[in-house]
């Protein structure tokens, strides 16, 4: 019994067959015509593609972290719990943390230190409180739609230096990507304008290694902020010693490594695909058709990275700002003055409207 | 403004009004004739208003062309002139021009003049129709009237609307940019900063297929047609 080989059309996916008149493969659905060799090439490639990613993170060994806590390390540390938002931070007992860095609530209770992993590495603070204040001031300068009163009436409730827990992901990946690319050319003669679109199947395969991709392990801090303060310079990372903590607070992680790995996977896959896509040159357009990533040597470290957390109260609302304690990158959301917004809109609209109307009337 | 006056018709060789169907009263006919004479003298171009009962099986354009050509109308070497034909039997009108003035009175302008004249023909106001014809000819040849521009030009109101729409868009973009200044907490979609090693192991670009589409170019429509005498006329015609 003979089997019928079915080939799929690279353009629309329908079943195509050999057309003896043109000696080419013809698709009855989308009318595209292909060289027999090209279709075979395409079919083989697609058939041999591995479907689905292979992502394997070694489970984070909680007993690692360069050894367990030594007893002398933990003797001075206390846990502080906020009654209002449930945030829990850790600090030197001399810290005497007075208000919650997350919600501004002044009532926090000190408890015995427990339930926190010893980090693998830490990046110490390079910038001090004054630098944070200055950065805040600079951030509010030149913001046209910021309400004027913000600069005078808001006050920095608190500026706290916190070591934020991050999971750092290392891996070696093997990425296989297939792109649909086109080359479009135009030309004309006396009677017609012509457009030719040539379709290509572009394959790129490569190894992309990632080191220390950070995902924050604290649910209390918005990931948009903790990602926006990147990058950190890991060359300045050191093995953890409690000494670095004194004078600062440290956050306990409440999102574990496995949960955070989802975000890491997203970023890694995106980055790997883009790296491959950047090597595709000479085409008018290029879009990924299928990407497959296989990961190896995936391991996770646990680090404490320095952030300055500033809370400002304005009009009864709390605005949070974050500064990278190592690089000084400042991130935050400022309120917008609605009146100014509409004034600017009307102003630009009126100005451009008058200008364009005048041009439309006189020139064309 | 068109001046109706009695002028010494130097070109009385060819009557400027031939009213075979007697659509005009004798006073009206005289006025039209005089006005046409004035145009002829003023602008060095021939003018003819012709009415007839039947087209004798010809098309209105062919009839107008032939009458003009074979009856010897047209001044100068290029036989410049314009004719309005009204055929009461078929209820057809035609306007035809010949010579250098075809630059002004091309197909599209003859069409435009026809559109101005036709309503009066439909209502039987033949004197007004002829009057309007002569006024239009006077207006366009003197430069007082400007021919409507070719091919789909956007009227002023439309252009202003587009200008306002654009201004709206620009204003929107500007304020959105200003607004985005206020917030820089953005997630990072890539991990490019953490790539320690990148090595391409395989690349292959394979041609799949291609196709060509073509669109016809807007041809500049050539103006005019050739009449039975071999001369080139511009013109238009229609029913009333």
Closest-CA distance of chain A to residue B144, Å: 20
Instruction: Return all residues near A156 (Cβ < 8 A) that are at least 6 apart.
Output: A133, A136, A310, A311, A312
**Averaged over A80-107, what is the pLDDT?**
74
Closest-CA distance of chain B to residue A114, Å: 32
CB–CB contact B206 A34 (8 Å) = no
Question: In terms of pLDDT, which residue wins out, B156 or A260?
Answer: A260
Residue from the list A145, A190, A202 with its beta carbon closest to the beta carbon of B178: A145
Set of chain B residues whose Cβ sits within 8 Å of the Cβ of A181: 205
Question: In terms of pLDDT, which residue wins out, A248 or A210?
Answer: A210
pLDDT score of A304 more than 70: yes
A134 and A316 in contact (C-beta within 8 Å)? no
SS3 B1: coil
Look at strands B46-52 and B81-87 and give their pairing.
parallel
| B45 closest CA partner among B147, B149, B134, B145 | B134
pLDDT score for A67: 54
Q: What is the pLDDT along chain B (240 residues), one digit of tens a residue?
A: 454 444 444 444 688 999 999 999 999 999 999 999 999 999 999 999 999 999 998 999 999 999 999 998 988 899 999 999 999 999 999 999 999 989 888 898 999 999 999 999 999 999 999 999 999 999 998 888 887 765 445 667 777 888 888 899 999 999 999 989 889 988 999 999 999 999 999 999 988 888 899 888 876 667 888 888 888 899 999 998
Report the C-alpha gap between A251 and A119 in whole angstroms.
11
Per-residue pLDDT tens digits for A53-93: 888 788 777 665 555 677 677 777 778 888 788 778 887 76
pLDDT score for B221: 67
pLDDT score for B118: 92
Question: In terms of pLDDT, which residue wins out, A234 or A252?
Answer: A234
pLDDT score for A140: 86
Segments in A141-256 forming alpha helices (H): 148-153, 223-228
Look at strands A192-216 and A317-324 and give their pairing.
unpaired
CB–CB contact A360 B213 (8 Å) = no
pLDDT score of A285 more than 80: yes
pLDDT band at A308 (very low <50, low <70, confident <90, very high): very high
Report the C-alpha gap between A166 and A217 in whole angstroms.
5
CB–CB contact B191 A207 (8 Å) = no
CB–CB contact A213 B211 (8 Å) = no
What are the C-alpha distances in Å from B160 to residues A350, B146, B149, B166? 13, 21, 18, 10
Set of chain B residues whose Cβ sits within 8 Å of the Cβ of A197: 210-213
Set of chain B residues whose Cβ sits within 8 Å of the Cβ of A360: 156, 159-160, 162-163
Set of chain B residues whose Cβ sits within 8 Å of the Cβ of A333: 182-183, 185
| A122 closest CA partner among A218, A209, A212, A61 | A212
End-to-end CA distance of chain B: 27
Report the C-alpha gap between A102 and B233 in whole angstroms.
88
B200 → chain A, closest CA residue: A206
Report the C-alpha gap between A347 and A144 in whole angstroms.
14
CB–CB contact B186 A355 (8 Å) = no
**ipTM for the complex shown:** 0.78
SS3 B231: coil
Report the C-alpha gap between B233 and A311 in whole angstroms.
85
pLDDT score for B9: 41
SS3 B230: coil
pLDDT band at A280 (very low <50, low <70, confident <90, very high): very high
Query: Among residues of chain A, what percentage have pLDDT more than 70?
Result: 93
Report the C-alpha gap between B171 and A350 in whole angstroms.
9
pLDDT score of A38 more than 90: no
Report the C-alpha gap between B195 and A209 in whole angstroms.
6
pLDDT score of A110 more than 80: no
pLDDT band at A197 (very low <50, low <70, confident <90, very high): very high
Q: B80-109: buried (b, 16+ CB within 10 Å) or exposed (e) per residue? A: bbbbbbbbbebebbbbbbbbebbebbbbbb
pLDDT score for A166: 93
pTM for this entry: 0.67
What are the C-alpha distances in Å from A235 to residues A264, A267, A326, A355? 21, 22, 11, 54
pLDDT band at A96 (very low <50, low <70, confident <90, very high): low
């Amino acid at each position: 019994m003979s089997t019928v080989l079915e080939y799929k059309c690279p353009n629309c996916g329908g079943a195509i067959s050999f057309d003896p008149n043109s000696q080419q493969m013809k698709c009855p659905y989308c009318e595209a015509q292909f060289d027999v060799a090209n279709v075979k090439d395409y079919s083989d490639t697609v058939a041999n593609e591995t479907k689905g990613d292979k992502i394997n993170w070694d489970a984070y060994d909680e007993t690692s972290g360069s050894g367990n806590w030594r007893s002398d390390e933990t003797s001075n540390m206390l846990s502080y719990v906020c009654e209002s938002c449930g945030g829990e931070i850790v600090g030197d007992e001399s810290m005497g943390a007075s208000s919650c860095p997350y919600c501004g609530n002044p009532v926090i209770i000190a408890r015995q230190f427990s339930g926190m992993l010893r980090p693998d590495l830490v990046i110490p603070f390079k910038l001090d409180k004054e630098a944070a204040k200055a950065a805040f001031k600079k951030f509010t300068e030149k913001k046209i739609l910021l309400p004027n009163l913000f600069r005078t009436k808001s006050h920095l409730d608190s500026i706290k230096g916190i070591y934020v827990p991050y999971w750092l992901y290392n891996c070696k990946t093997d990425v296989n990507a297939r792109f649909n690319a086109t080359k479009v050319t135009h030309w004309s003669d006396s009677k017609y304008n012509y457009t030719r679109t040539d379709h290509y199947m572009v394959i790129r395969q490569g190894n992309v290694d990632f080191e220390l991709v950070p995902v924050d392990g604290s649910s209390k801090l918005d990931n948009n902020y903790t990602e926006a303060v990147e990058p950190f310079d890991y060359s300045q990372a050191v093995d953890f010693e409690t000494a670095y903590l004194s004078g600062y607070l440290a956050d306990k992680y409440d999102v574990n490594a496995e949960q955070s790995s989802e975000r890491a996977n997203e970023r890694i896959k995106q980055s790997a695909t883009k790296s491959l896509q950047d090597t595709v040159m000479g085409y008018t357009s290029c879009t990924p058709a299928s990407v497959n990533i296989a990961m190896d040597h995936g391991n996770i470290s646990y680090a404490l990275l320095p952030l300055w957390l500033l809370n400002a109260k304005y009009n009864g609302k709390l605005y949070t700002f974050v500064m990278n304690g190592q690089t000084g990158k400042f991130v935050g959301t400022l309120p917008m003055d609605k009146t100014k917004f509409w004034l600017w809109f009307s102003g630009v609209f009126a100005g451009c409207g008058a200008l364009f109307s005048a041009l439309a009337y006189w020139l064309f | 403004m068109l001046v109706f006056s009695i002028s010494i018709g130097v070109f009385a060789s060819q009557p400027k009004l031939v009213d075979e169907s007697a659509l005009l009263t004798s006073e009206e006919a005289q006025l039209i004739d005089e006005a046409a004479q004035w145009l002829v003298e003023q602008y060095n171009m021939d003018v003819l208003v012709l009415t007839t009962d039947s087209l004798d099986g010809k098309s209105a354009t062919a009839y107008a062309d032939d009458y003009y050509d074979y009856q010897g109308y047209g001044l100068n070497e290029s036989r410049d002139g314009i004719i309005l034909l009204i055929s009461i039997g078929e209820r057809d009108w035609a306007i035809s021009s010949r010579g250098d003035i075809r630059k002004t009175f091309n197909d599209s302008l003859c069409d435009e003049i026809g559109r101005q004249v036709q309503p009066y023909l439909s209502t039987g106001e033949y004197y007004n129709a002829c009057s309007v014809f002569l006024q239009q000819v006077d207006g366009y040849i003197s430069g007082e009237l400007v021919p409507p521009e070719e091919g789909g030009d956007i009227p002023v109101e439309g252009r202003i609307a587009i200008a306002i729409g654009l201004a709206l868009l620009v204003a929107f973009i500007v304020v959105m940019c200003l607004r985005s200044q206020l917030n820089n907490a953005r997630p990072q979609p890539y991990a490019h900063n953490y790539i320690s090693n990148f090595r391409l192991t395989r690349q292959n670009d394979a041609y799949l297929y291609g196709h060509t589409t073509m669109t016809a170019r807007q041809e500049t429509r050539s103006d005019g047609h050739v009449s039975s005498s071999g001369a080139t006329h511009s013109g238009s015609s229609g029913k009333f």
